């Protein structure tokens, strides 16, 4: 079964299916943006940016496309089988991927790949590109930012923006990331927050403090988006 799911034909079909759904939701849901003006200087200027939203809102992510289409924008996507069709879906809408995952201890080959992808991402943002990241993916824990996104921001010196996304009506699955699928012709909201910066001299303790603070802020933006569309907030912790 795994071999079948990883075949190019199946990945191509899944990518097309998700990409078609993403564009359907962008075009049919009535999207509302709150505080989007905070990102306007970056969209209108030459600086780069790192943009974060939770992994469980990937099916809603093109709600932010009208903003990021104004810049050269790429997406950080896992090299896993799931990441492959997600990368293809995002590529259909003009967001080519940089593929990266966190390497397991002792896996030298994956560690080298992760370092190379991180360098590519830093170079991209430093050159004025925008990079969209789901900082709790691909493995979780849900709604906890991993350090990689902050390292990109620290090394590039570019600002970070948070994007809370929600829709109603929508189906929310009992997956580790509480993935949300919107119904067409409903209401949607994106709540923006930022810009934030990671000081160049930030050490591990400072990064850990920022992770806790920004994770709380991104979750708050997501809960605010849920409120705007009249959706009751759901505990982000995965059910057992």
Average pLDDT over residues 58-84: 91
Q: What's the pLDDT tens digit per position in 124-151?
A: 999 999 999 999 988 889 999 999 999 9
Q: Please, which pLDDT band fits residue 2 given cuts at 50, 70 and 90?
A: low
Q: What pLDDT score does 115 carry?
A: 82
Confidence of residue 117 (pLDDT cuts 50, 70, 90): confident
- Three-class secondary structure of residue 184 per DSSP: strand
State the residue for tokens 């080298």.
112
Compute the radius of gyration of the chain from its Cα atoms: 17
- State the pLDDT confidence band at 7, using cuts at 50, 70 and 90: confident
Percent of the chain with pLDDT over 70: 90
Q: How far apart are CA 149 and CA 67, in angstroms?
A: 20
Q: What is the predicted pLDDT for the residue at 139?
A: 83
The answer, as to whether pTM is greater than 0.85, is: yes
Specify the long-range contacts of residues 27-30, CB closer than 8 Å, at least 24 apart.
28/184, 28/185, 29/63, 29/167, 29/182, 29/184, 29/185, 29/186, 29/187, 29/188, 30/186, 30/187, 30/188
Identify which has the larger pLDDT, 234 or 176.
Answer: 176
Q: d(Cα 178, Cα 214) in Å, to the nearest integer?
A: 19
- What is the pLDDT at residue 240? 40
The average pLDDT across 155-159 equals 97
Fold of domain 2-228 = Glycerol-3-phosphate (1)-acyltransferase (3.40.1130)
Confidence of residue 232 (pLDDT cuts 50, 70, 90): confident
Range in 21-35, 44-58, 74-88, 220-234 the model is least confident about? 74-88
């Amino acid at each position: 079964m795994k071999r079948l799911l990883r075949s190019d034909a199946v990945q191509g079909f899944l990518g097309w299916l998700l990409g078609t759904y993403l564009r359907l939701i962008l075009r049919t849901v009535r999207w509302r943006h709150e505080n989007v003006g905070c990102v306007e200087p970056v969209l209108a200027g030459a600086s780069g940016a790192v943009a974060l939203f939770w992994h469980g809102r990937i099916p809603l992510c093109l709600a932010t496309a009208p903003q990021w289409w104004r810049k050269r924008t790429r997406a950080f996507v896992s090299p896993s089988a799931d990441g492959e069709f997600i990368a293809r879906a995002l590529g259909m809408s003009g967001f080519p991927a940089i593929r990266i995952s966190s390497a397991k201890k002792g896996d030298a080959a994956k560690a080298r790949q992760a370092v190379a992808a991180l360098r590519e991402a830093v170079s991209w943002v430093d050159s004025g590109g925008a990079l969209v990241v789901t900082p709790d993916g691909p493995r979780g824990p849900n709604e906890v930012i991993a350090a990689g996104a902050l390292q990109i921001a620290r090394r590039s010196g570019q600002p970070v923006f948070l994007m809370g996304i929600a829709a109603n009506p929508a189906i929310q699955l009992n997956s580790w990331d509480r993935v949300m699928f919107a119904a067409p012709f409903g209401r949607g909201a994106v709540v923006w927050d930022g810009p934030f910066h990671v000081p160049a001299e930030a050490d591990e303790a400072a990064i850990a403090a920022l992770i806790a603070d920004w994770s709380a802020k991104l979750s708050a933006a997501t809960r605010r988006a849920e409120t705007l569309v009249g959706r009751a907030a759901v505990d982000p912790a995965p059910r057992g």
